[in-house]
Amino acid sequence: MYDIYEHDRRPTESVDTAGNALAAAAHASDLATQHLLDAQAAISHQGINDDNAGNLRRRPTLRLAPTLQVPDRLYRRRVRRPV
């Protein structure tokens, strides 16, 4: 047998508080599970488009623009010549 103590309240109050908190956590978990199921159901009918011949249609992809070559003369530092 153990001697259980608590200085600011009776141990049974702590057990009741913990039990209530665990019940609230279980309810929150059930609610979160339902939200996750709803989210999954909302997107469950999404798929990949095909052309009815079994070939997948792909979205057009963006291509990078060709690299522009800047002439070296534009990088040269301009120096003023004495007049």
Q: Please, which pLDDT band fits residue 58 given cuts at 50, 70 and 90?
A: low
What is the rounded average pLDDT of the residues 41-63? 71
d(CA 21, CA 27): 10
pTM of the predicted model as reported, rounded to 2 decimal places: 0.48
How many CB atoms are closer than 10 A to CB 54? 6
d(CA 66, CA 2): 78
CB proximity list for 14: less than 8 A, separation 6 or greater: 6
What is the rounded average pLDDT of the residues 26-49? 87
Give residue 32's identity as a one-letter amino acid code: A
Handedness of CA 25, 26, 28, 29 (dihedral sign): positive
